[in-house]
Structure 1
Amino acid sequence: MNQTIVPDSQARGLLARLPATPRALALLARFDRPIGWWLLFWPGAWAVALAGGGVVRWALIGWLLLGAIAMRGAGCVFNDIVDRDLDAKVARTAARPLASGAMAVKVAWAWLLALCLIGLIVLLQLHLYAQVVALASLALVAAYPFMKRITGWPQIWLGLVFSWAALVGWSEVAGSLTLPGLLLYAGTIFWVVGYDTIYAMQDREDDALIGIGSSALSMGRHVRMGVMLCYLAALGLWGGALWVVRPQILALAALLPIAVHLGWQVITLKEDGIDPLAKFRSNRFAGLLVFCACIVVGNA
Protein backbone atom coordinates (compact mmCIF):
# COMPACT_ATOMS: atom_id res chain seq x y z
CA MET A 1 0.00 0.00 0.00
CA ASN A 2 1.14 3.54 -0.75
CA GLN A 3 1.95 5.52 2.39
CA THR A 4 3.93 8.33 0.80
CA ILE A 5 4.19 11.29 3.10
CA VAL A 6 2.33 14.29 1.76
CA PRO A 7 4.43 17.21 0.44
CA ASP A 8 3.89 19.52 3.41
CA SER A 9 4.83 16.99 6.09
CA GLN A 10 7.31 18.29 8.66
CA ALA A 11 8.37 14.97 10.18
CA ARG A 12 9.63 12.80 7.36
CA GLY A 13 12.52 11.34 9.31
CA LEU A 14 10.50 10.41 12.40
CA LEU A 15 7.58 8.98 10.45
CA ALA A 16 9.87 6.97 8.23
CA ARG A 17 11.06 5.03 11.31
CA LEU A 18 7.56 4.06 12.48
CA PRO A 19 6.02 0.68 11.62
CA ALA A 20 3.41 0.81 8.86
CA THR A 21 0.26 0.95 11.01
CA PRO A 22 1.39 3.58 13.57
CA ARG A 23 2.78 5.58 10.68
CA ALA A 24 -0.55 5.51 8.86
CA LEU A 25 -2.39 6.51 12.05
CA ALA A 26 -0.01 9.44 12.60
CA LEU A 27 -0.50 10.58 9.01
CA LEU A 28 -4.26 10.28 9.30
CA ALA A 29 -4.31 12.52 12.39
CA ARG A 30 -1.76 14.90 10.76
CA PHE A 31 0.71 14.47 13.61
CA ASP A 32 3.37 15.07 10.96
CA ARG A 33 1.98 18.59 10.44
CA PRO A 34 1.82 20.31 13.84
CA ILE A 35 0.81 23.65 12.32
CA GLY A 36 -2.84 22.51 12.42
CA TRP A 37 -3.04 21.99 16.15
CA TRP A 38 -1.07 25.16 16.82
CA LEU A 39 -3.68 27.11 14.87
CA LEU A 40 -6.49 25.39 16.78
CA PHE A 41 -4.77 25.94 20.12
CA TRP A 42 -3.79 29.62 19.90
CA PRO A 43 -7.28 31.18 20.13
CA GLY A 44 -7.93 29.34 23.39
CA ALA A 45 -4.62 30.48 24.82
CA TRP A 46 -5.36 34.07 23.72
CA ALA A 47 -8.69 34.02 25.52
CA VAL A 48 -7.19 32.67 28.74
CA ALA A 49 -4.46 35.33 28.62
CA LEU A 50 -6.81 38.23 27.82
CA ALA A 51 -9.20 37.16 30.59
CA GLY A 52 -6.33 37.50 33.06
CA GLY A 53 -5.32 33.85 33.34
CA GLY A 54 -2.14 33.91 31.28
CA VAL A 55 0.10 33.68 34.34
CA VAL A 56 -2.00 31.81 36.92
CA ARG A 57 -3.80 29.37 34.60
CA TRP A 58 -0.87 27.66 32.89
CA ALA A 59 -2.36 24.25 33.65
CA LEU A 60 -5.49 25.22 31.74
CA ILE A 61 -3.39 26.36 28.78
CA GLY A 62 -1.65 22.98 28.85
CA TRP A 63 -4.97 21.14 28.82
CA LEU A 64 -6.13 23.29 25.90
CA LEU A 65 -2.96 22.35 24.02
CA LEU A 66 -3.59 18.64 24.59
CA GLY A 67 -7.21 19.08 23.54
CA ALA A 68 -6.15 20.91 20.38
CA ILE A 69 -3.78 18.10 19.39
CA ALA A 70 -6.38 15.39 20.03
CA MET A 71 -9.38 17.16 18.51
CA ARG A 72 -7.52 18.47 15.50
CA GLY A 73 -6.43 14.88 14.90
CA ALA A 74 -10.01 13.66 15.34
CA GLY A 75 -11.26 16.32 12.94
CA CYS A 76 -8.71 15.29 10.33
CA VAL A 77 -9.66 11.64 10.66
CA PHE A 78 -13.35 12.44 10.26
CA ASN A 79 -12.59 14.76 7.35
CA ASP A 80 -10.60 12.03 5.59
CA ILE A 81 -13.35 9.45 6.14
CA VAL A 82 -15.87 11.78 4.49
CA ASP A 83 -13.53 13.08 1.78
CA ARG A 84 -11.65 9.92 0.82
CA ASP A 85 -13.21 9.94 -2.66
CA LEU A 86 -12.31 13.60 -3.27
CA ASP A 87 -8.84 13.26 -1.75
CA ALA A 88 -7.99 10.53 -4.23
CA LYS A 89 -8.51 13.03 -7.07
CA VAL A 90 -6.25 15.78 -5.69
CA ALA A 91 -2.50 15.48 -6.13
CA ARG A 92 -1.63 16.89 -2.70
CA THR A 93 -4.02 14.56 -0.83
CA ALA A 94 -4.03 11.38 -2.95
CA ALA A 95 -1.41 9.74 -0.72
CA ARG A 96 -3.45 10.07 2.48
CA PRO A 97 -4.01 6.68 4.15
CA LEU A 98 -7.73 6.38 3.35
CA ALA A 99 -7.57 7.93 -0.11
CA SER A 100 -4.68 5.66 -1.09
CA GLY A 101 -6.21 2.53 0.46
CA ALA A 102 -3.39 2.13 2.99
CA MET A 103 -5.91 1.93 5.87
CA ALA A 104 -9.35 0.39 6.26
CA VAL A 105 -12.21 2.77 7.09
CA LYS A 106 -13.17 0.78 10.20
CA VAL A 107 -9.65 1.28 11.60
CA ALA A 108 -10.03 5.02 10.99
CA TRP A 109 -13.31 5.05 12.94
CA ALA A 110 -11.62 3.30 15.88
CA TRP A 111 -8.79 5.82 15.81
CA LEU A 112 -11.32 8.64 15.73
CA LEU A 113 -12.98 7.26 18.86
CA ALA A 114 -9.65 7.02 20.69
CA LEU A 115 -8.82 10.65 19.91
CA CYS A 116 -12.27 11.76 21.03
CA LEU A 117 -11.75 9.99 24.36
CA ILE A 118 -8.65 12.10 24.92
CA GLY A 119 -10.75 15.16 24.10
CA LEU A 120 -13.29 14.00 26.69
CA ILE A 121 -10.60 13.86 29.36
CA VAL A 122 -9.70 17.47 28.54
CA LEU A 123 -13.37 18.48 28.59
CA LEU A 124 -13.76 17.13 32.12
CA GLN A 125 -11.09 19.55 33.35
CA LEU A 126 -13.41 22.51 32.60
CA HIS A 127 -16.25 24.00 34.57
CA LEU A 128 -19.79 23.15 33.47
CA TYR A 129 -20.39 26.42 31.61
CA ALA A 130 -17.23 26.01 29.54
CA GLN A 131 -18.07 22.34 28.94
CA VAL A 132 -21.41 23.33 27.42
CA VAL A 133 -19.71 25.95 25.26
CA ALA A 134 -17.17 23.38 24.05
CA LEU A 135 -19.82 20.77 23.25
CA ALA A 136 -21.80 23.34 21.26
CA SER A 137 -19.07 23.25 18.62
CA LEU A 138 -19.64 19.60 17.70
CA ALA A 139 -22.37 20.29 15.15
CA LEU A 140 -20.11 22.78 13.36
CA VAL A 141 -17.23 20.31 13.40
CA ALA A 142 -19.37 17.48 12.01
CA ALA A 143 -20.71 19.64 9.18
CA TYR A 144 -17.40 21.14 8.06
CA PRO A 145 -16.21 18.34 5.70
CA PHE A 146 -19.37 18.79 3.64
CA MET A 147 -19.06 22.56 3.20
CA LYS A 148 -16.66 22.44 0.27
CA ARG A 149 -19.26 20.42 -1.63
CA ILE A 150 -22.09 22.94 -1.18
CA THR A 151 -20.45 26.38 -0.90
CA GLY A 152 -17.66 28.37 -2.45
CA TRP A 153 -16.67 29.70 0.97
CA PRO A 154 -15.91 26.68 3.19
CA GLN A 155 -13.16 28.72 4.88
CA ILE A 156 -15.84 30.75 6.66
CA TRP A 157 -17.18 27.56 8.24
CA LEU A 158 -13.63 26.53 9.11
CA GLY A 159 -13.25 29.90 10.79
CA LEU A 160 -16.26 29.22 12.99
CA VAL A 161 -14.74 25.86 13.98
CA PHE A 162 -11.06 26.74 14.39
CA SER A 163 -11.84 29.86 16.42
CA TRP A 164 -14.10 28.09 18.92
CA ALA A 165 -11.37 27.59 21.51
CA ALA A 166 -11.49 31.35 22.11
CA LEU A 167 -15.04 30.97 23.43
CA VAL A 168 -14.05 27.97 25.55
CA GLY A 169 -10.99 29.63 27.06
CA TRP A 170 -12.81 32.89 27.77
CA SER A 171 -15.84 31.23 29.35
CA GLU A 172 -13.63 29.04 31.55
CA VAL A 173 -11.70 31.99 33.01
CA ALA A 174 -14.31 34.76 32.87
CA GLY A 175 -17.24 32.53 33.78
CA SER A 176 -19.48 33.63 30.89
CA LEU A 177 -19.35 34.75 27.27
CA THR A 178 -18.95 38.51 27.55
CA LEU A 179 -18.10 41.08 24.88
CA PRO A 180 -14.28 40.78 24.84
CA GLY A 181 -14.43 37.03 24.31
CA LEU A 182 -17.00 37.41 21.53
CA LEU A 183 -14.93 40.08 19.79
CA LEU A 184 -11.83 37.91 20.09
CA TYR A 185 -13.76 35.02 18.54
CA ALA A 186 -15.11 37.14 15.69
CA GLY A 187 -11.67 38.50 14.86
CA THR A 188 -10.20 35.02 14.85
CA ILE A 189 -12.78 33.87 12.29
CA PHE A 190 -11.44 36.46 9.84
CA TRP A 191 -7.85 35.42 10.64
CA VAL A 192 -8.71 31.81 9.85
CA VAL A 193 -10.41 32.73 6.57
CA GLY A 194 -7.33 34.76 5.62
CA TYR A 195 -4.69 32.13 6.34
CA ASP A 196 -6.73 29.22 4.98
CA THR A 197 -7.36 31.13 1.77
CA ILE A 198 -3.59 31.34 1.42
CA TYR A 199 -3.37 27.58 2.07
CA ALA A 200 -6.12 26.87 -0.48
CA MET A 201 -4.11 28.62 -3.19
CA GLN A 202 -2.11 25.40 -3.50
CA ASP A 203 -5.17 23.44 -4.66
CA ARG A 204 -7.00 25.88 -6.92
CA GLU A 205 -6.51 23.93 -10.12
CA ASP A 206 -7.47 20.58 -8.59
CA ASP A 207 -10.44 22.08 -6.70
CA ALA A 208 -11.78 23.67 -9.88
CA LEU A 209 -11.31 20.42 -11.80
CA ILE A 210 -13.27 18.26 -9.36
CA GLY A 211 -15.87 20.93 -8.64
CA ILE A 212 -15.38 21.77 -4.96
CA GLY A 213 -15.38 25.25 -3.46
CA SER A 214 -12.73 27.34 -1.76
CA SER A 215 -12.32 31.00 -0.94
CA ALA A 216 -9.14 31.04 -3.05
CA LEU A 217 -11.28 30.15 -6.07
CA SER A 218 -14.13 32.47 -5.09
CA MET A 219 -11.78 35.45 -4.72
CA GLY A 220 -10.21 34.72 -8.10
CA ARG A 221 -7.58 37.26 -9.10
CA HIS A 222 -8.47 39.39 -6.05
CA VAL A 223 -7.18 36.82 -3.56
CA ARG A 224 -4.46 39.11 -2.20
CA MET A 225 -6.98 41.89 -1.58
CA GLY A 226 -9.40 39.41 -0.02
CA VAL A 227 -6.78 38.12 2.42
CA MET A 228 -5.78 41.68 3.30
CA LEU A 229 -9.39 42.62 4.09
CA CYS A 230 -9.76 39.52 6.27
CA TYR A 231 -6.62 40.39 8.21
CA LEU A 232 -7.72 44.02 8.65
CA ALA A 233 -11.07 42.85 10.01
CA ALA A 234 -9.27 40.48 12.38
CA LEU A 235 -7.05 43.27 13.68
CA GLY A 236 -10.01 45.59 14.13
CA LEU A 237 -12.03 43.08 16.12
CA TRP A 238 -9.04 41.99 18.20
CA GLY A 239 -8.38 45.66 18.90
CA GLY A 240 -11.97 46.00 20.07
CA ALA A 241 -11.52 43.04 22.45
CA LEU A 242 -8.35 44.53 23.93
CA TRP A 243 -9.97 47.96 24.22
CA VAL A 244 -12.96 46.63 26.17
CA VAL A 245 -10.58 44.93 28.61
CA ARG A 246 -8.27 47.96 28.89
CA PRO A 247 -9.41 51.16 27.12
CA GLN A 248 -5.95 52.63 26.59
CA ILE A 249 -3.99 53.41 23.42
CA LEU A 250 -1.08 51.33 24.73
CA ALA A 251 -3.37 48.30 24.75
CA LEU A 252 -3.94 48.72 21.02
CA ALA A 253 -0.20 49.21 20.49
CA ALA A 254 0.26 45.61 21.66
CA LEU A 255 -1.18 44.54 18.31
CA LEU A 256 1.46 46.36 16.25
CA PRO A 257 3.78 43.33 15.93
CA ILE A 258 1.00 41.09 14.63
CA ALA A 259 -0.17 43.86 12.29
CA VAL A 260 3.32 44.05 10.80
CA HIS A 261 3.52 40.28 10.47
CA LEU A 262 0.15 39.95 8.73
CA GLY A 263 1.06 42.85 6.45
CA TRP A 264 4.27 41.03 5.53
CA GLN A 265 2.27 37.93 4.64
CA VAL A 266 0.06 39.85 2.22
CA ILE A 267 2.71 42.07 0.66
CA THR A 268 5.21 39.28 -0.02
CA LEU A 269 2.70 36.56 -0.94
CA LYS A 270 3.60 34.78 -4.17
CA GLU A 271 0.93 32.85 -6.03
CA ASP A 272 3.02 29.75 -6.69
CA GLY A 273 3.11 26.24 -5.25
CA ILE A 274 5.66 26.95 -2.52
CA ASP A 275 5.18 30.38 -0.96
CA PRO A 276 1.51 29.94 0.08
CA LEU A 277 2.48 26.99 2.28
CA ALA A 278 5.32 28.96 3.87
CA LYS A 279 3.04 31.94 4.54
CA PHE A 280 0.34 29.64 5.96
CA ARG A 281 2.83 28.03 8.33
CA SER A 282 4.03 31.43 9.50
CA ASN A 283 0.71 31.86 11.28
CA ARG A 284 2.05 29.70 14.08
CA PHE A 285 4.34 32.66 14.87
CA ALA A 286 1.41 35.04 14.32
CA GLY A 287 -0.46 33.16 17.05
CA LEU A 288 2.44 33.71 19.44
CA LEU A 289 2.39 37.46 18.71
CA VAL A 290 -1.32 37.71 19.50
CA PHE A 291 -0.77 35.68 22.69
CA CYS A 292 1.89 38.13 23.79
CA ALA A 293 -0.50 41.03 23.17
CA CYS A 294 -3.27 39.32 25.15
CA ILE A 295 -1.07 38.40 28.09
CA VAL A 296 0.30 41.95 28.33
CA VAL A 297 -3.15 43.54 28.24
CA GLY A 298 -4.85 40.88 30.37
CA ASN A 299 -2.27 41.14 33.15
CA ALA A 300 -1.52 44.86 32.99
Structure 2
Amino acid sequence: MFNTGVSTYLCLFFACCFCCSRAMPTKLSNEAVNDRSVIGVLTQVVTDEIMKPFGRTYIPSSYVKYIESGGSRVMPIRLTLTTSEYENIFRKINGLIFIGGAADLETSDFARVAKIFYRLALAANDAGDYFPIWGTCMGMQLLTVLVAGENLLTKTPAENLALPLNLTTEAQSSRMFNSFPDELINALTQEPLTGNFHHYGITVKDFQENEMLQSFFTILSTNIAKNGAHFVSTFEGKRYPFYGVQWHPEVNRFQWYRKANFPHSRHAVQLSSELAEFFVNEARRSLHHFDSPAEEESSLIYNYSPVYVANITTYEQIYFF
Protein backbone atom coordinates (compact mmCIF):
# COMPACT_ATOMS: atom_id res chain seq x y z
CA MET A 1 0.00 0.00 0.00
CA PHE A 2 1.02 3.58 -0.61
CA ASN A 3 1.95 5.71 2.35
CA THR A 4 -0.87 8.26 2.79
CA GLY A 5 1.50 11.20 2.57
CA VAL A 6 3.17 9.88 -0.57
CA SER A 7 -0.20 9.14 -2.17
CA THR A 8 -1.42 12.67 -1.50
CA TYR A 9 1.80 14.11 -2.90
CA LEU A 10 1.49 12.07 -6.11
CA CYS A 11 -2.14 13.10 -6.60
CA LEU A 12 -1.20 16.76 -6.23
CA PHE A 13 1.78 16.30 -8.58
CA PHE A 14 -0.26 14.74 -11.40
CA ALA A 15 -3.09 17.21 -10.93
CA CYS A 16 -0.58 20.04 -11.24
CA CYS A 17 0.93 18.52 -14.38
CA PHE A 18 -2.53 18.08 -15.90
CA CYS A 19 -3.52 21.66 -15.17
CA CYS A 20 -0.26 22.96 -16.54
CA SER A 21 -0.65 20.94 -19.72
CA ARG A 22 -4.09 22.43 -20.24
CA ALA A 23 -2.87 25.92 -19.50
CA MET A 24 0.10 25.69 -21.89
CA PRO A 25 -0.99 23.82 -25.05
CA THR A 26 1.56 22.90 -27.70
CA LYS A 27 1.87 25.63 -30.28
CA LEU A 28 0.49 24.48 -33.63
CA SER A 29 1.30 25.73 -37.10
CA ASN A 30 -1.39 27.86 -38.70
CA GLU A 31 -0.52 26.48 -42.14
CA ALA A 32 -3.23 24.14 -43.47
CA VAL A 33 -2.09 20.60 -44.11
CA ASN A 34 -3.65 17.98 -46.38
CA ASP A 35 -2.94 14.50 -45.01
CA ARG A 36 -4.92 12.75 -47.75
CA SER A 37 -2.89 13.91 -50.72
CA VAL A 38 -3.11 12.39 -54.20
CA ILE A 39 -0.17 12.73 -56.57
CA GLY A 40 -0.70 12.46 -60.31
CA VAL A 41 1.65 10.43 -62.49
CA LEU A 42 1.69 10.90 -66.26
CA THR A 43 1.55 7.58 -68.08
CA GLN A 44 4.19 6.70 -70.69
CA VAL A 45 3.47 5.40 -74.18
CA VAL A 46 4.51 1.76 -74.63
CA THR A 47 7.29 1.58 -77.23
CA ASP A 48 8.82 -1.80 -76.41
CA GLU A 49 7.32 -4.46 -78.71
CA ILE A 50 7.34 -7.08 -75.95
CA MET A 51 5.10 -4.87 -73.79
CA LYS A 52 2.58 -3.78 -76.45
CA PRO A 53 0.18 -6.72 -75.92
CA PHE A 54 -0.50 -5.47 -72.38
CA GLY A 55 -1.62 -1.91 -73.13
CA ARG A 56 -0.96 1.40 -74.88
CA THR A 57 0.46 3.32 -71.91
CA TYR A 58 2.07 2.32 -68.62
CA ILE A 59 3.50 3.28 -65.23
CA PRO A 60 6.14 1.08 -63.55
CA SER A 61 4.94 -0.05 -60.13
CA SER A 62 8.18 1.17 -58.54
CA TYR A 63 7.02 4.79 -58.91
CA VAL A 64 3.65 3.96 -57.39
CA LYS A 65 5.22 2.18 -54.42
CA TYR A 66 7.67 5.04 -54.01
CA ILE A 67 4.87 7.60 -53.67
CA GLU A 68 2.80 5.36 -51.43
CA SER A 69 5.80 4.74 -49.18
CA GLY A 70 6.00 8.49 -48.58
CA GLY A 71 2.40 8.55 -47.37
CA SER A 72 0.44 9.60 -50.46
CA ARG A 73 -1.66 7.97 -53.17
CA VAL A 74 -1.41 7.88 -56.95
CA MET A 75 -3.74 8.94 -59.73
CA PRO A 76 -2.64 7.71 -63.18
CA ILE A 77 -3.10 10.41 -65.81
CA ARG A 78 -3.74 9.24 -69.37
CA LEU A 79 -2.39 11.08 -72.41
CA THR A 80 -5.62 11.11 -74.44
CA LEU A 81 -7.75 13.63 -72.54
CA THR A 82 -8.76 17.17 -73.44
CA THR A 83 -7.23 20.32 -72.01
CA SER A 84 -10.37 21.00 -69.97
CA GLU A 85 -10.20 17.49 -68.51
CA TYR A 86 -6.58 18.07 -67.48
CA GLU A 87 -7.56 21.39 -65.90
CA ASN A 88 -10.23 19.54 -63.92
CA ILE A 89 -7.72 16.91 -62.78
CA PHE A 90 -5.28 19.62 -61.73
CA ARG A 91 -7.85 21.07 -59.34
CA LYS A 92 -8.09 17.70 -57.60
CA ILE A 93 -4.51 16.38 -57.32
CA ASN A 94 -1.85 17.73 -54.95
CA GLY A 95 1.34 17.21 -56.93
CA LEU A 96 2.67 15.69 -60.13
CA ILE A 97 5.51 13.38 -61.12
CA PHE A 98 7.11 13.15 -64.56
CA ILE A 99 8.68 9.68 -64.61
CA GLY A 100 11.59 8.29 -66.59
CA GLY A 101 11.21 6.54 -69.92
CA ALA A 102 11.58 7.32 -73.60
CA ALA A 103 9.62 10.04 -75.39
CA ASP A 104 10.21 13.05 -77.61
CA LEU A 105 10.37 15.97 -75.19
CA GLU A 106 8.91 18.46 -77.64
CA THR A 107 6.41 16.67 -79.88
CA SER A 108 5.11 13.62 -77.98
CA ASP A 109 1.76 13.38 -76.20
CA PHE A 110 3.73 13.04 -72.97
CA ALA A 111 5.40 16.41 -73.60
CA ARG A 112 2.12 18.02 -74.68
CA VAL A 113 0.26 16.96 -71.54
CA ALA A 114 3.22 17.82 -69.29
CA LYS A 115 3.25 21.34 -70.72
CA ILE A 116 -0.42 21.82 -69.84
CA PHE A 117 0.19 20.83 -66.21
CA TYR A 118 3.42 22.85 -66.04
CA ARG A 119 1.61 26.03 -67.07
CA LEU A 120 -1.24 25.34 -64.64
CA ALA A 121 1.29 24.79 -61.82
CA LEU A 122 3.10 28.04 -62.62
CA ALA A 123 -0.14 30.01 -62.51
CA ALA A 124 -1.32 28.28 -59.34
CA ASN A 125 1.90 28.89 -57.43
CA ASP A 126 1.94 32.52 -58.59
CA ALA A 127 -1.53 32.86 -57.06
CA GLY A 128 -0.43 31.32 -53.74
CA ASP A 129 -1.90 27.87 -54.54
CA TYR A 130 1.02 25.57 -53.66
CA PHE A 131 1.56 22.79 -56.19
CA PRO A 132 4.80 20.74 -56.47
CA ILE A 133 6.21 18.93 -59.52
CA TRP A 134 8.94 16.26 -59.52
CA GLY A 135 10.88 15.04 -62.54
CA THR A 136 12.92 11.81 -62.52
CA CYS A 137 15.50 11.14 -65.26
CA MET A 138 13.59 11.93 -68.46
CA GLY A 139 11.17 13.84 -66.26
CA MET A 140 14.02 16.10 -65.15
CA GLN A 141 15.11 16.53 -68.76
CA LEU A 142 11.54 17.49 -69.63
CA LEU A 143 11.55 20.18 -66.94
CA THR A 144 14.62 21.77 -68.55
CA VAL A 145 12.84 21.84 -71.92
CA LEU A 146 9.69 23.36 -70.41
CA VAL A 147 11.62 26.06 -68.56
CA ALA A 148 14.18 26.88 -71.28
CA GLY A 149 11.64 26.67 -74.10
CA GLU A 150 14.09 24.56 -76.10
CA ASN A 151 15.86 21.23 -75.97
CA LEU A 152 19.42 21.74 -74.68
CA LEU A 153 20.16 18.09 -73.91
CA THR A 154 23.42 16.54 -75.04
CA LYS A 155 25.00 13.12 -74.60
CA THR A 156 25.82 12.47 -70.95
CA PRO A 157 25.93 8.66 -70.86
CA ALA A 158 25.64 7.11 -67.42
CA GLU A 159 23.86 3.86 -68.21
CA ASN A 160 23.51 1.26 -65.46
CA LEU A 161 25.86 3.21 -63.21
CA ALA A 162 25.55 3.92 -59.47
CA LEU A 163 27.23 7.13 -58.36
CA PRO A 164 27.74 9.37 -55.33
CA LEU A 165 26.66 12.99 -55.81
CA ASN A 166 28.96 15.98 -56.10
CA LEU A 167 26.86 18.30 -53.94
CA THR A 168 27.06 22.04 -54.54
CA THR A 169 27.40 24.60 -51.75
CA GLU A 170 23.66 25.31 -52.10
CA ALA A 171 22.64 21.70 -51.39
CA GLN A 172 22.92 21.82 -47.60
CA SER A 173 20.46 24.72 -47.33
CA SER A 174 18.14 23.44 -50.07
CA ARG A 175 14.56 22.40 -49.41
CA MET A 176 15.32 18.93 -50.75
CA PHE A 177 18.33 18.11 -48.60
CA ASN A 178 18.29 20.44 -45.59
CA SER A 179 16.54 17.97 -43.29
CA PHE A 180 18.83 15.04 -44.17
CA PRO A 181 20.87 13.62 -41.29
CA ASP A 182 24.57 14.51 -41.51
CA GLU A 183 25.44 10.84 -41.83
CA LEU A 184 23.28 10.51 -44.93
CA ILE A 185 24.67 13.68 -46.50
CA ASN A 186 28.18 12.35 -46.00
CA ALA A 187 27.22 8.97 -47.45
CA LEU A 188 25.57 10.66 -50.42
CA THR A 189 28.87 12.28 -51.37
CA GLN A 190 31.02 9.20 -50.81
CA GLU A 191 28.94 6.11 -51.62
CA PRO A 192 27.29 5.07 -54.92
CA LEU A 193 23.70 5.67 -53.76
CA THR A 194 22.13 7.00 -56.98
CA GLY A 195 21.19 4.70 -59.85
CA ASN A 196 21.78 6.30 -63.26
CA PHE A 197 20.17 4.95 -66.43
CA HIS A 198 20.38 7.73 -69.00
CA HIS A 199 22.09 8.64 -72.26
CA TYR A 200 21.29 12.36 -72.30
CA GLY A 201 21.25 15.22 -69.82
CA ILE A 202 21.93 18.90 -69.36
CA THR A 203 25.59 19.85 -68.95
CA VAL A 204 26.62 22.34 -66.28
CA LYS A 205 28.00 24.61 -69.02
CA ASP A 206 24.76 24.63 -71.04
CA PHE A 207 22.72 25.15 -67.89
CA GLN A 208 24.80 28.11 -66.74
CA GLU A 209 24.75 29.72 -70.18
CA ASN A 210 20.95 29.60 -70.39
CA GLU A 211 19.38 32.57 -68.62
CA MET A 212 16.00 30.86 -68.19
CA LEU A 213 17.42 27.77 -66.49
CA GLN A 214 19.91 29.76 -64.42
CA SER A 215 17.22 32.04 -63.02
CA PHE A 216 14.66 29.27 -62.48
CA PHE A 217 16.63 26.42 -60.88
CA THR A 218 19.39 26.03 -58.30
CA ILE A 219 21.87 23.24 -59.04
CA LEU A 220 22.16 20.95 -56.02
CA SER A 221 24.49 18.31 -57.45
CA THR A 222 26.53 17.40 -60.51
CA ASN A 223 28.20 14.27 -61.87
CA ILE A 224 30.63 13.18 -64.57
CA ALA A 225 29.32 11.01 -67.42
CA LYS A 226 31.20 8.13 -69.03
CA ASN A 227 32.25 10.45 -71.87
CA GLY A 228 33.61 13.05 -69.42
CA ALA A 229 30.62 15.39 -69.70
CA HIS A 230 29.93 17.37 -66.52
CA PHE A 231 26.15 17.18 -66.09
CA VAL A 232 23.55 18.50 -63.67
CA SER A 233 22.22 15.60 -61.60
CA THR A 234 19.90 17.37 -59.12
CA PHE A 235 18.15 20.74 -59.05
CA GLU A 236 15.24 22.53 -57.41
CA GLY A 237 13.25 25.62 -58.29
CA LYS A 238 14.30 28.90 -56.73
CA ARG A 239 10.76 30.26 -56.52
CA TYR A 240 8.62 27.27 -57.46
CA PRO A 241 8.40 23.84 -55.74
CA PHE A 242 9.72 22.04 -58.82
CA TYR A 243 12.40 19.36 -58.43
CA GLY A 244 14.51 17.26 -60.76
CA VAL A 245 16.88 14.30 -60.37
CA GLN A 246 18.75 12.74 -63.29
CA TRP A 247 18.93 9.53 -61.24
CA HIS A 248 16.29 7.12 -59.94
CA PRO A 249 15.49 7.17 -56.19
CA GLU A 250 12.61 4.70 -56.64
CA VAL A 251 14.83 1.81 -57.75
CA ASN A 252 16.71 1.72 -54.43
CA ARG A 253 13.77 0.02 -52.73
CA PHE A 254 11.54 -1.34 -55.44
CA GLN A 255 13.54 -2.77 -58.35
CA TRP A 256 15.64 -5.95 -58.14
CA TYR A 257 16.80 -6.98 -61.63
CA ARG A 258 20.14 -8.68 -60.95
CA LYS A 259 21.97 -7.27 -63.98
CA ALA A 260 21.00 -3.68 -63.16
CA ASN A 261 23.11 -1.59 -60.81
CA PHE A 262 20.31 -0.71 -58.41
CA PRO A 263 21.72 0.55 -55.06
CA HIS A 264 20.23 -1.39 -52.14
CA SER A 265 22.56 -0.48 -49.26
CA ARG A 266 21.23 0.89 -45.97
CA HIS A 267 22.06 4.45 -46.98
CA ALA A 268 20.60 3.94 -50.46
CA VAL A 269 17.30 2.80 -48.97
CA GLN A 270 17.38 5.70 -46.50
CA LEU A 271 17.95 8.16 -49.35
CA SER A 272 14.93 6.84 -51.24
CA SER A 273 12.79 7.00 -48.12
CA GLU A 274 13.82 10.57 -47.27
CA LEU A 275 13.05 11.84 -50.76
CA ALA A 276 9.68 10.10 -50.98
CA GLU A 277 8.64 11.64 -47.68
CA PHE A 278 10.02 15.02 -48.73
CA PHE A 279 7.91 15.21 -51.88
CA VAL A 280 4.78 13.93 -50.14
CA ASN A 281 5.26 16.63 -47.50
CA GLU A 282 5.39 19.13 -50.34
CA ALA A 283 2.11 17.70 -51.67
CA ARG A 284 0.53 18.06 -48.22
CA ARG A 285 0.76 21.82 -48.70
CA SER A 286 -1.70 21.60 -51.60
CA LEU A 287 -5.36 21.83 -50.61
CA HIS A 288 -6.76 20.61 -53.94
CA HIS A 289 -9.37 17.90 -53.49
CA PHE A 290 -11.90 15.76 -55.31
CA ASP A 291 -15.56 16.71 -55.30
CA SER A 292 -16.62 13.52 -53.52
CA PRO A 293 -15.12 10.40 -51.91
CA ALA A 294 -16.59 8.30 -54.72
CA GLU A 295 -14.87 10.41 -57.39
CA GLU A 296 -11.59 10.20 -55.50
CA GLU A 297 -11.78 6.43 -55.09
CA SER A 298 -12.59 5.84 -58.75
CA SER A 299 -9.56 7.91 -59.83
CA LEU A 300 -6.88 6.08 -57.85
CA ILE A 301 -4.36 3.48 -59.00
CA TYR A 302 -6.05 0.92 -56.74
CA ASN A 303 -8.62 0.34 -59.50
CA TYR A 304 -5.90 -1.33 -61.60
CA SER A 305 -3.79 -4.42 -61.11
CA PRO A 306 -0.07 -4.45 -61.94
CA VAL A 307 1.27 -7.11 -64.31
CA TYR A 308 4.30 -9.21 -63.40
CA VAL A 309 6.97 -8.42 -66.03
CA ALA A 310 10.26 -9.29 -64.33
CA ASN A 311 10.68 -12.15 -66.80
CA ILE A 312 10.66 -9.79 -69.80
CA THR A 313 11.78 -6.35 -68.47
CA THR A 314 14.02 -4.81 -65.80
CA TYR A 315 10.86 -3.88 -63.86
CA GLU A 316 9.16 -6.18 -61.37
CA GLN A 317 5.61 -5.04 -62.14
CA ILE A 318 3.94 -2.54 -64.47
CA TYR A 319 0.51 -0.92 -64.55
CA PHE A 320 -0.91 -0.83 -68.09
CA PHE A 321 -3.72 1.45 -69.31
Normalization by structure 2: what TM-score?
A: 0.25
Compare CA radii of gyration and give the structure with the larger one: 2
Higher strand share: 2
TM-score, normalisation: structure 1:
0.26
